[in-house]
Structure 1
Amino acid sequence: MQTTNFRLLKEAEKIVERRGAREASLVLIQGKFGIGKSEMTERWASENGHVFIRAKKVWTPRSMLEDIAAELGVAVRGSAKDIENRITQHLAQTMQALIIDEADYLADMKSAAKLETIRDISDVTGTMVFLVGMQDFPAIVQRYEHIASRVARIVQLHPLSLADVQATCKAKAEVALSPALVEQIHRDSKGRMRHVLNAIANIEVWAETNSWTEVDVAHVKGKPLCTDFTGHIAANKGV
């Protein structure tokens, strides 16, 4: 199943592969929460032999290198520089792309030390690095011009289109869903993959409980297909 966002990733990969400047190897992937960035990029990494890792808030430059090295299967002994050297040697040989999810944790207003280390690895190896962050992530990177100059592409991911939701329901749902119900899932989920998958799971439970072989809008009338936590809190506050 390839959504519009998945195709945008593949397009960005092709563009960076053909880049003129070797050091322009960073791709920033931005998007709002819940639209499926993590699931999609992890699947993309698995299908293409890329290295996928999630950044952590508690990362230091050293612990970041240790986690990357562990994912690559290289030793983590010695100094931070020793570990970085092993990582660069490995990536220079394999030319695997590095995908870092939750990349917002790599830099903030005070320091970009972790992001600079990633920049160094990319510069030395020439390997592509995809940094997956929230909507404001490119603005964070822009504060550091020496790193921003390495950005070859910024990919803006969008909420799922109706066609994307139709394809997702066809691929994921184990019970037949009417076109009208799929349209309702699209509306209620606001195009967020997380909510679409939750809606499908809820519908499957109801279908199994009631022995429905096909589910239409009438079957789920009055039932919450997917819970919007923000909307629920606002409603309870009378907003």
Structure 2
Amino acid sequence: MQHRFIKTTNYIDCLEAMKELEKLPRDMEKMGLFYGNAGRGKTLIIEKIAIDEGAALVRTLGSWTPKQMMIDICEALELMDTGTTATLQHRIIDELTMNKRILIIDEVDTLFMNGKKQLLLMIRDIHDLAKTPIILTGMEQCDKMFKRDTHYYERFSRKVKMGDTTKHDIKQLCLNSDVEIEDDLVEHFFNKYGNFRPVKVLINALEEYCENNDLQSASLNTFKSSGVEKINAK
């Protein structure tokens, strides 16, 4: 199976939202919130976007202090990380302003769970002064948590709720296979599993079966005959 990045529906939605934030006028709010339950591919999506768009990606830590957060953001932006907390914050603001960098803060739930609202306010201040996009990502409850603070929530010009895996996503995964996965089998994978992880396991086993039997494609009948579905029954 080929290991190409799969441009899922969630990925496309997040990328489009980021592009829209970049195009907003300077005087408009440019914060984004990408959120969803586990298994939606958030980590892979933001890593891919950060690399392709030259964004700085920082993952939150429960042990963060205001200064340590600023140090970690400076490191992500490849800036000097020495000085007071205020000095570091101004250095970050200057970098984002001058070079129009995008900042992504991942797993922001950690700040809520550890009572770190002060850090969220510092991120907000960076956004307000730099006037460049800052995207926060987290689990589904993030949206409800931010709604409790109207002034903060209103800064999110773009929000993306990452949904379940779609049939399109499963089809894209199947296109990475070394054998052609026929439409009826794509449909079966989507209806029965609806998730990348078990389908990847099945495709890998199916590829081996097809290689041993000199098959170039696999239909639902081929899949049933192969017996590989027993893998997920164990």
TM over 0.5: yes
Give the AA of the match of 1:35.
Answer: R
Q: Quick one: which amino acid aligns to residue 34 of structure 1?
A: G
Match of 1:214 in 2: 217
* Structure 1 residue 204 displacement after superposition: 4.1
User: Tell me, which stretches of 5 or more residues in structure 2 are unaligned?
Assistant: 1-5
- Give the SS at the match of 2:109: helix
Counterpart amino acid of 1:8? D
Q: Does 1:107 align with 2:80?
A: no
Structure 2 length normalisation: TM-score?
A: 0.81
Contact kept, 8 Å, 1:50 with 1:98, in 2: the verdict is: yes
Q: Does residue 92 of the first structure (1) align with residue 105 of the second (2)?
A: no
Match of 1:118 among 118, 123, 139: 123
Shift of 1:169: 1.8
Supply the distance in 2 between the matched residues of 1:226 and 1:59 (Cα, whole angstroms).
Answer: 42
* Partner Cα distance (2:66, 2:210) in 1: 49
What secondary structure, in the 3-state scheme, does the structure 2 residue paired with 1:107 have? helix
* 2:188 aligned to which of 181, 184, 189: 184
8 Å CA contact retained: 2:70, 2:89: yes
**Structure-1-length-normalised TM-score:** 0.80
Within 1, Cα distance between the matches of 2:198 and 2:49?
A: 20
Structure 1: unaligned runs, 5 residues or longer: 233-239
1:109 and 1:183, CA in 2 relative to 1: closer, same or farther beyond 3 A?
A: same
Structure 1 residues 59-88: Cα deviation after superposition (integer angstroms, max 9, x where no partner): 333222222211111111122222222211
Query: Residues 14 and 202 of structure 1: is their aligned pair in 2 closer, same or farther, counting only changes over 3 Å?
Result: same
Q: Report the count of equivalent residues.
A: 227
Q: Please say if residues 202 and 228 of structure 2, whose CA atoms lie closer than 8 Å, have aligned partners that are also in contact.
A: no
Question: What's the RMSD between the two structures over aligned residues?
Answer: 2.9
Match of 1:150 among 155, 158, 168: 155
CA, structure 1 residues 13+183, in 2 after alignment: closer, same or farther (shift >3 Å)?
A: same
In the TM superposition, what is the alpha-carbon distance from 1:98 to its structure 2 partner? 1.2
Alpha-carbon offset, residue 113 of structure 1: 1.6
1:130 shift after superposition:
1.2
**Partner in structure 1 of residue 174 of structure 2:** 169
Paired with 1:112 and 1:56, the residues of 2 have a C-alpha distance of 13
How many percent of aligned residue pairs carry the same amino acid? 28
- Contact 1:99–1:131 (CA<8 Å) still a contact in 2? yes
Equivalent position SS for 1:99: strand
Question: Quick one: distance in 1 between partners of 2:112 and 2:28?
Answer: 20
User: CA shift at 1:208, angstroms?
Assistant: 5.5
